[in-house]
Chains A and B, each alone.
Chain A
């Protein structure tokens, strides 16, 4: 899967916005949205929130977990544990990137948040690499990892499966076949 596809799926998450226009309920295929009244918060999917923000029609409210102290706790927790800790949102990386790109002025302490999320991501990817490494070394048949998000799986997924494929091919070619011909003559 492409990272762009993962981002596309992430855009279905709901966020709160405060519009500055008014509009009646709109009925879309995926569900109903609205009604929009200026100054009153309303829940909308992320794709619509970003679009409205770019047209200067709303103000975005950061989700509850996007707060410097909470993210610091999460990061410290992640560093302590050997396994993966549950993340506040299955699409935390995409949400952070989109919100911090388009709505920097609506998010307090945006720089700190960016650093904290990046730290957490780095820790998790390092753990993933370690676990893949030990998986290959010990030649396990299967492994189970909890609390991984889609973006992280995508980062290593393709590479890992292709590498394992190659290794399988190499391993099967190592076994001496009966029909193998020796070369000394």
Chain B
């Protein structure tokens, strides 16, 4: 839905009605949902929450509640839209006698006017054809590439701010939504930094009271702080050693799948002056003297080893004496809770658990999520290492391709879209660092993994190439659709993100062949 005045046309309309909230399975959507829920609670709005994981579920939910629906707004990342006038135009019917008065007395004049009419009509028709061609072009461009705009959690926070109902809690959820986009590599670095700047203003507005000694807040109050912290995943809840091994940036730059890479890792620790024994224990138990200037020390040493961007601008949350989390920690925890395959529960249970873990009084769920996230990261790194060592990534011409066989350990983890996307991005990063072929470094990657062995389906993900200045535009959505059409493969384009599809195992090879010919 396209809106110009968010508050007036959206919130004030729904605040007096009963609302149906359909939420996608994405950490960003979860955060936006939390913000909306908090707003609804303040204003006593009745709502029903339905998690949807794809277009089909969206349709079923819509049909179920069809009788009561008047307005439909979906929670999702919004894609950039072209100008309204370029696509829709209030067309006026061409009327033959549109106000041309015929003057009967002068036949010459009439004929002249008739000719003018014809000329006018042909001009109009030509204009119309040009306009239609232009429209087709725009729509093709619009639908050809897929990319992500502002985080929907940030959009919801803006709404709350406009209504002066924004709180520190909602600000934190907006931060988590933005960090999720950055971790999943959906937005460019520039956009991330700009959005962080915007959020930084809100953070200072809400959290400036700590400096005042006389009126300092209770330690139990929630505080958000800006941090220029290390990019290592979950390092404060894990050991430094594990975190360095399992973060894609460090593991790819140091090439940790090779023996040389392991040696380089040990050199890195020696350079930093951190004894291996200390580094392998839990971060909280490390010596205080070592932890003091940790960030600067690591950055300096990492620079020598070619890792220039080890620190990143982010935020951390702080409440009580024990609880300090970085935004990225929360993202990893929530994402792994949402795609938890350990117990065979229906999908909505995982969704609700992940939603709950975002509240501050459900710390046990958050800790469970952190443990699951550690397992997931380890599984991803091991899979990446084995793929690179056994050369499972093959160049098919216009793209790279990797298929995870059924017997691969932890392959069940990768039957979920977000985990598979994360795996593919890490795989591509590591591959780019490991290969010497200059051309292969610029190719996009398609990864396929078995999804449901009984039904014989495979889940396939396509990601854009890994370049410094990439604008993260993904053309695989349309490409997959066209390839499926041309080969009559049995595919399911169910996910909101069109570059993720499911298809039958038997159709895999002909689908790939069609893709190769399409993209060359």
Contact = CB atoms under 8 A, between A and B. Distances in A.
A, B assembled together: yes
A57 B221 CA distance: 19
A73 interface: no
Contact of A104 (B164, B167, B214, B217): B217
Residue of A20, A57, A107, A108 most packed against chain B (CB within 10 A): A108
B165 A56 contact: yes
B218 A56 contact: no
Contacts, number: 28
Residue of B41, B165, B215, B220 most packed against chain A (CB within 10 A): B220
A109 B216 contact: yes
Q: Is chain B's interface secondary structure helix, strand, loop, or mixed overall? A: loop
Interface in B217-240: 217-221
Contacts of B219: 111
B216 A56 contact: no
Contacts of B42: 55-57
Residue of A20, A110, A114 most packed against chain B (CB within 10 A): A110
Nearest to B164: A20
B218 A110 contact: yes
A69 interface: no
Contacts of A114: 218
Interface string A1-35: 00000000000000000001000000000000000
A111 B167 CA distance: 22
Nearest to B212: A108
B241 to A, nearest CB: 37
A104 B220 contact: yes
A105 interface: yes
Interface residues of B, number: 13
A105 B214 CA distance: 14
Contacts of B218: 100, 104-105, 107, 110-111, 114
A109 B218 CA distance: 6
Given A55-B41, A55-B42, A56-B42, A105 B165 contact: no
Contacts of B165: 56
B219 to A, nearest CB: 6
Contacts of A57: 42
A100 B220 CA distance: 10
Interface string A93-108: 0000000100011011
Contact of B214 (A20, A100, A108, A111): A108
B300 to A, nearest CB: 38
A5 B167 CA distance: 33
Nearest to A114: B218
Interface string B237-260: 000000000000000000000000
Contacts of A110: 217-218, 220
Nearest to B41: A55
Nearest to B168: A105
Contact of B167 (A20, A56, A107): A56
Nearest to B167: A56
A105 B221 contact: yes
Contacts of A109: 215-216
Nearest to A113: B218
A68 B345 CA distance: 51
Nearest to A101: B220
Interface in A52-104: 55-57, 100, 104
B42 to A, nearest CB: 5
Interface in B190-221: 214-221
Contacts of A55: 41-42
A114 B220 CA distance: 12
A55 B39 CA distance: 9
Nearest to A112: B218
A157 B41 CA distance: 40
Interface in B152-210: 164-165, 167
A114 B218 CA distance: 10
A111 B220 CA distance: 9
Contacts of A104: 217-218, 220-221
A104 B214 CA distance: 15
Nearest to B222: A105
A108 B217 CA distance: 6
B208 to A, nearest CB: 13
Contacts of B216: 108-109
Contacts of A56: 42, 165, 167
A56 B42 CA distance: 7
Contacts of A111: 218-220
25 contacts: A20-B164, A55-B41, A55-B42, A56-B42, A56-B165, A56-B167, A57-B42, A100-B218, A104-B217, A104-B220, A104-B221, A105-B217, A105-B218, A105-B221, A107-B218, A108-B214, A108-B215, A108-B216, A109-B215, A109-B216, A110-B218, A110-B220, A111-B218, A111-B219, A111-B220
Given A55-B42, A105-B217, A110-B218, 9 more contacts: A20-B164, A55-B41, A56-B42, A104-B221, A105-B218, A105-B221, A110-B217, A111-B220, A114-B218
Interface of A: 20, 55-57, 100, 104-105, 107-111, 114
Interface of B: 41-42, 164-165, 167, 214-221
7 tightest Cβ-Cβ pairs between the two chains A and B: A110-B218, A108-B215, A104-B218, A55-B42, A111-B218, A56-B42, A104-B221
